Structure 1
Amino acid sequence: MATKRITFDDLPSSVLAAVEAHAGPVIKTETVSEGFNSEIAARVITDSGSCFVKGLRTDHRRVWTQRREAEVNPFLHGIAPALLWQVEESGWIILGFENLKGHHADYSPNSPDLTKVANLLRRLGEVPLPDIELRKAEQRLKTYAVKPSDLDYFAGRSLLHTDLNNHNVIVDESAYLVDWAWATSGAAWLDAGYWVVWLMAAGDHGPESAEEWASQVPAWIIAPKEGVTAFARANANVWEEIAAGELDEWTARMLNASRRWATFRQHN
């Protein structure tokens, strides 16, 4: 369920002052509608430049996602926008990131962005797993796997993003991943698998086309066939659960894509 969004100016004056102490006097703010994890998400223009600001109350049930983003960011040079500063003040935790210039990735079949996203996932695969607390893929998928033994396929020592929503990929000369709330450790090929479903849902690819793009990621090429099928089925179960709670158009597309991919994998 999405977190209710408020504007930057709705923050307490003490929090606004703390932000300005890091970013400089604020000239203009633009609330960002995309994303589900933050109460505050805005582009903030100051007299010294611009940054992207996101935040949650410290008593919010998902405040851990803000802390996770701050912890993982130093390991993501060239993969994600840099964390410039963080503030914890008056019951809020606020993160200030480099403001990327670019557009949300276009996942359609002929998009020039696809090559850049594939290269992004290749570069992410070269990032060593940081020595910080991360959720494990096999734990996150435990209740969705068809068989307990399937979980062995998902375990690994690679850093994963796990939410390849095209709104989480900003493309300019290169591509960058934003919103690391669900950073996870697991098998190196899993992010390519998550990308398959998003290519089908957001880009209208068929399963063959989506998997062909995933094959541009080296880890995918050596992924066990049975493991990929197990993941496709588990991921479909994830979306079945999500759709049972709230079947909006976006969720319906993801549910349909995950079902189609799981069916394709079981028959190929």
Structure 2
Amino acid sequence: MAGIAAIGAAVAGDLPLQMPNAGTPAPQMPAEDDMGRPKPLELPKDVEAKLAGVDKAKVDFLKSGVTGRYVEKDALFARIRTGKPEEISAYIDAMQALHAQVEFKAGRDVAAIPLDTRSPWFNAWKARRPNSMDPKRDVGPIELTRYIGGWGGGFATFAGAPVAMTPEDLKAGKVDVAIVGAPLDMGSGWRNAIDGPRAMRMTGGAAGNDMYSMINPNAALKIVDYGDIAIDQNSTERSVDHVREMVAEIARTGAIPIVIGGDHSLEYPNVAAAA
């Protein structure tokens, strides 16, 4: 909990955003996974021998490492080892042609795809529903379970916790921890990461006794599910800006915000601290 508290304090402005003593640094992307800077490919000696009669520019293309985006290196080496010179040359030609199509080319490709700022729905994805449109109720967390003695019969929430919808709910309920979902999908290659927060709710994560400390977080802390943060699936930048706004909204009430992100870019400690 100390690490989470430090992140919450950083969000609220009480600590610097950089935490040099963080126990787990953000993972670094391997060089071969960086689309802008592919790792050079080392050719085995027998493969280089098969390429002896191939144009040097084509061999340099192979050695640049960009072919790793289109074919796994062992499959590439196998194709060269078993191919005839004309087949190898045609194979490299095909990869070069593909590379020319997928890479950005100034004058042919648009450097940025602007959003339609003329749309009357431009900010509708994050516009708040006015409280006056909702049924009147007392402020504070809302219990969604049907039974007193346990879960079930209600709606799935983070840690089986009650729901809070507004900062006023957090303050009235003297909430310690507000868990909020951020179902961003883009940075993961659209692999259904958007369902991450929903899956965490369904599994009841963070509820019950912790097997290491033998502490029940729900018994020691006032925890609520603060719903999901609105996401613009057309813009990571706009989405992350709104995530920052919502995390700050929670932190200003004195509660510790915990973001359950569907997308890996929202789960790294440095991103959470920067929020």
Please give the TM-score of this superposition, normalised by the length of structure 1: 0.24
User: Which is greater in Rg?
Assistant: 2
Structure with greater strand percent:
1
